[in-house]
Structures are given as C-alpha cells and as structure tokens.
Amino acid sequence: MYQKALLILATIALCAGAQKVAEYDYVVVGSGPGGGPLACDLARAGYSTLLLEAGDDQGDNPTYANLGNFEKAGSDVLSRWDFWVKHSDDQEREHRFHKTTWQLPNGTYYIGLDPPKEAKRLGKQYPRSATLGGCAMHNAGVCSLPQDEDWNIIVNKTGDASWTAQNMRKYLAKIEKNLYAPTGSAAHGFDGWLSTTDSDLSWTKNESLPATKIMKELAKLLGHKESDATTLAKTDILGDYPNRDQISSLYSMVQHQDRAGKRSSPNNYIKATLSDPKKYPLTVQLNSLVTRVLFANGTKLPTAIGVEVMTGQSLYKADPRHKVGTKGQTSRIMAKREVIVSGGTFNTPQILKLSGIGPAEELKKFGIAIVKELPGVGENMADNYEGSIIGIGQTPAGTFTPVGAPGLTTAIFKTSSSPKNRNIYTWCGPFSFEGFWPGFPENHGPNQYECAMVHIGPKSQAGYVHLTSADPQDVPDINLNFFKNNGDQDLQEIVEGANLLRKSWQAAGSTVLPFNELHPCPGTGAGNCTDAAQREYIRDQTYSHHATSTCAIGGENDRMAVLDNKFRVRGVRNLRVVDASAFPVVPGAFPVLPTYMISAKAAEDILAEAKNQS
C-alpha cells in the first residue's frame, strides 16, 4: 500500500503543476514491456526520468495481480483498449469471421454472423491493456525465446554483432529472477526483476490419466519414445541447446510469475524503483495521453525536445469508457536528453505520425507538417497466426488449475513443410481459448480439450497501422492482412500442425473417445475433413495478439527501416522507439520476453551513449 500511495502522490503532484513546464533527462512514453523496465533502468542509473502512462494503476487489483485471472483481465473495462481490426481487404472473407462483433443501439454487443438490422459492425476485437505495466498486465505470461535467426536478421541488416542470438541471451540473464532452474545455471539469471516459473508436471506421473496418454502419444509423434515423455515434458523451454530451433519436443511452460501465481511484470519493477525516490529519480504520470513529440526550431536535423500530453481518464477512443467530446488538459513536458516512445505496435506509429514522422502522403492527407519522411512507419506489420483444435470428450481428459499451468502439455515442433525451423508452439489441456471478443472465452464444460497453436515465423508481413485523422484521441485503421503473401505456405504448415495434434488425441482412451471436434474439423471422426477444408477454416478464423514491426530496425539502405541498430529514429536526433514495433520480424511464438530483453539492451545502449557524451 505504501508503494501505491507513493505512486499516487507522485502523479497528483505532477498533474497539479501541469501549467508549469516540467523537465527531465529522459521522457519515456508507455509503461509496457519496452518502456516500463527501460524507465526504471535509466532512473536507477541516476538520470531523472519521467514515465508516462495513458491508463491508471491496477497493480494491486487481483484481476491483474494473479496471473491465473488473465482472461478476466483481458476483458476488464478498467484497462481495456478495444482496437477493431481487419484481417484482410476482402469484405466477404471479413464477414465470415465467427466472432465478428457488432454494437447494438443500447451499447451492448452482438457476436456472430447474423446481427440485427440496427447493429453497427465493429470488426475483430484486438484488446490492448492501458494500465501501469501495459499488456504485460493482461497477458498469460508465457515466456519463450525467438529463433536465433530472428535476432541474427538484425545483425545482417545493420552489421551490429551485439544483436547475435548468443549475445542477446545475456539480457535474459540480466532481467531474470529464475525460480525453477538449478542456481547458477549458465542459461539463466537469478537476481533480476522478472520472476519466472515453470509448470507443475506432477500430473504426468498418472499413467491412467487420458491427458497423460495424449502427452505420450504426442512425444511419439515428435520422434521420441513414449517412455521418455514425462522426462521430456520437464525440458527447460528457455534452455540453451545446440540446434535448438530444429528440436521438436515436449517442454515445460514458463511464465513470468512467482510460485504463488502472482504476476511478475513491469508494474512490480516500477513500484520497486519508486520506493526509493532519493536514490532513483523516477517520476510516473498516469492518465496521460501523449499527443505528439515536440521538436526544436532551426536545427539541421529534427531534434526531439519533449512531448505534448493530454491528461485525464479514458481520453483515447479505444477505451470503452470514453465519453464523446471528452478532452483533457494539455501540457508540455521537456526532455533534456531524449524522448523514448514505447507505446506499442499500434500506438507508437500513431504517435510518430502525429508528430510529423512517417509516410509523406499519409501525413499530407491529414494536414500534418512533415518533420521527417519515413515511409516504413506503420507498415510491414507482422503477427503470429493463432488457432486451435478443440473438442468435447465423452468424459474429462484431465483437470486444469491455472497457477503454474498444471494439466498442460507444451510442445514446439517442426512440420514437414517448414523450410527450416520449428514452426508450431502448442499447449494442450482441458481449457478453451478461441480468440478475442467481448466477454471471451467460451466455456464448453468439463469435457472440453484443446490444443492451442501459435505459428512461428509467418511468411506474410503485410499489415499496416494508418491514421484516420490528425486527432490523437482517434483510433487508427489497422489491417493485419493475414496470409496476403505466401499464405498457402503458412496455411499448410498450420494444417499439418493440427493434423499431428489430432492424431495424439486418439490415445486418450475409450472413456474419452470419440472427441466431438468443434473445429477446424467438426464431428467425431479423426479424418472427417480435408486439408483444403481446414485451410479455408483457418484462413477465415485465425486470430492473433502478438503484433510487431511497425517501426522496424533496419539498415541504412533499407528505405522502409524506421530505426537504426540503437533504436534511434532515422534522421532524427534524441528520439528512440523501444517496444515490439522495433522487431523486423515477429520474434518467435510470444514477443513479451524478447521485448523485455530489447528493453534491457536499449538501456545499455542509451547509458553507454550518455556516458560518452559526459
């Protein structure tokens, strides 16, 4: 409670003096996995740092503090920003999405394909979290590492060897407070701010449990002995192994939480930093929507000197609590050294464009003066494809308790059509998760069983985030353009993943079988639909929540590159971007841990540069 009171007082004090121009060494916009830890690192190095967050603080709210409540957190109006996105430009395809959301005149939602005539189409819900800690406060906390080539692509683009996969592991060790590996394990860290735990696998010793039988069969299908399945399931998913990206195997799921199931996130790190204000000069300002970056007049290169901020609750129109016409108090905050934008894959490009940095034609369209033309801002968006096979058994296949994810079989594997590396991350168990819509998820009862899939290394990277106006409260136009490029290859890989997982279900035993599959192959037969039918279903019903790459790092000769190897906005001084938008490609299966890692790298780069300037 002391830390929360301290945070509230710091926020009130700053807002009370909003008419005065405040000044800090660094101004960080956004408190999520990129900006939150970075602001703490800068303050802990002795630099006065302001961290701006558009939402409030829900860190003590059990909905957010207990990781097992992540689905409730994702639907919670207290932090939710609703982005209504498109998956393609094909209107017929868009209207086939089963969870299309429509708003009724009374403000409630209709979910489905046959809305009442008076309903207004919203689209596909893509919730983001506006609260202290960002999307790390409503996610499932799943930790995984990118493929080595996801890091090495930055080396190839920029020539900077500090981005090699092996070197990037040191940032995992730096931030991690590992609670499951033997102390001193070289692949891990034990003194960082981010607690990591692995899953409880005691259930796998129960040979008669249908879920255990499925797990053993899956191990066999992945090329291992059934007798080794229990041991394989304990494999450290964050371990450092030779040829790691080619190994198809079972793994133990790792999440950023403590052993009691409490979420470990930037919120905790921020509170710990705020608890010693004399030592660490961090200031946090909540309910602060950044409207644009400010630039100096008359400089040879555009030079960031601060930000313009609108203060007030629920100012952004993605907030379902936003009231039409609500405006906040506007003020300016100055940065003596740098402005760092960490608003996330949707909001960072919006902020840059509103500041005059982006594609010239788009800026001209809305009367925004061009500060620096960078055509890549808001383009080349990438995302993992996500889907599942889900069925209803005749009896339960297992039991599920969310703390530590017991009851789940986790695997990463390579399908036969994958050109090189593992391409499917899956977790199987008695749960239901089928994407996002108001009020998700749908519970199908105790006999439900699902293998959720995340497709690693999507080939298509054609999404965009475009302005709809010059009003910073307006929500941008977002189109993920799923499967636009090389879509047949991606679809085939996902279908092959579904087929392999479906085979493993057949080992569940006579009390459970047959599964009544809900999708993508409805019915009770294991082979009752074709690959072509599955491809069609997956193309239309795929969802996602790992968007990246709208302000990507790239080389000097890359016209679409937005950032250089040190996160600096190209052609602009004293302005960086540190969040998931910086990745050239979506990093592995879950971007949250890689984003924590690049946050630590950015802090190291910024502090080294500051030292050289001293």
Q: What is the pLDDT of residue 13?
A: 39
Q: Residue range 519-524: average pLDDT?
A: 92
Q: What is the pLDDT of residue 23?
A: 98
Question: Any idea what the Cα angle at residue 606 is, between residues 603 and 608, rounded to 5°?
Answer: 105
Q: Residue range 193-198: average pLDDT?
A: 98
Q: What is the pLDDT of residue 614?
A: 75
Binding-site residue positions: 139-142, 290
Q: Give the number of other CB atoms < 10 A from CB of residue 230.
A: 18
The CATH code of the domain at 2-11+22-63+137-173+261-381+547-613 is 3.50.50.60
Residue 232 has pLDDT above 60, yes or no: yes
What fold characterizes domain 200-252+384-541? Glucose Oxidase; domain 3 (3.30.560)
Q: What is the pLDDT of residue 401?
A: 57
For the chain, which residues make up each domain, given as ranges? 2-11+22-63+137-173+261-381+547-613, 200-252+384-541
Residue 3 has pLDDT above 60, yes or no: no
**Which candidate, 423, 439, 426, places its Cα nearest to that of 390?**
426
Task: For the chain, give the percent of residues with pLDDT over 70.
Answer: 95
Q: Which helix (H) or strand (E) holds 24?
A: strand 22-29
What are the beta bridge partners of residue 425?
412, 454
Q: Residue range 558-579: average pLDDT?
A: 98
Q: What is the pLDDT of residue 7?
A: 43
Q: At 17, is the pLDDT very low, low, confident or very high (cuts 50, 70, 90)?
A: very low
- Asked whether the domain spanning 200-252+384-541 has the same topology as the one spanning 2-11+22-63+137-173+261-381+547-613, the reply is no
> Comparing 8-12, 51-55, 206-210, 337-341, which segment has the lowest mean pLDDT?
8-12
pTM of structure = 0.95
What are the beta bridge partners of residue 142?
255
Residue 349 has pLDDT above 60, yes or no: yes
Q: At 524, is the pLDDT very low, low, confident or very high (cuts 50, 70, 90)?
A: confident
Q: Give the number of other CB atoms < 10 A from CB of residue 560.
A: 13
Binding-site residue positions for FAD: 139-142, 290
Residue 12 has pLDDT above 70, yes or no: no
Is residue 254 within 8 Å of 425, Cβ to Cβ? no
The Cα–Cα gap between 43 and 324 comes to 37
Render pLDDT for 256-273 as a digit per residue (tens, 0 to 9).
Answer: 999 999 999 999 999 999
Question: Any idea what the Cα angle at residue 613 is, between residues 611 and 614, rounded to 5°?
Answer: 65
Render pLDDT for 372-428 as a digit per residue (tens, 0 to 9).
Answer: 999 999 999 999 999 999 999 999 998 765 555 568 999 999 999 998 899 999 999
The Cα–Cα gap between 72 and 297 comes to 47
The Cα–Cα gap between 147 and 589 comes to 9
The Cα–Cα gap between 349 and 375 comes to 11
Q: What is the pLDDT of residue 399?
A: 75
Q: Residue range 33-51: average pLDDT?
A: 98
Peptide bond into 591 cis (omega under 30): no
The Cα–Cα gap between 213 and 207 comes to 7
Residue 46 has pLDDT above 70, yes or no: yes
Q: What is the pLDDT of residue 15?
A: 41
**Position 164: which residue type?**
T
Q: What is the pLDDT of residue 9?
A: 34
User: Beta strand pairing status for 288-295 and 304-311?
Assistant: antiparallel
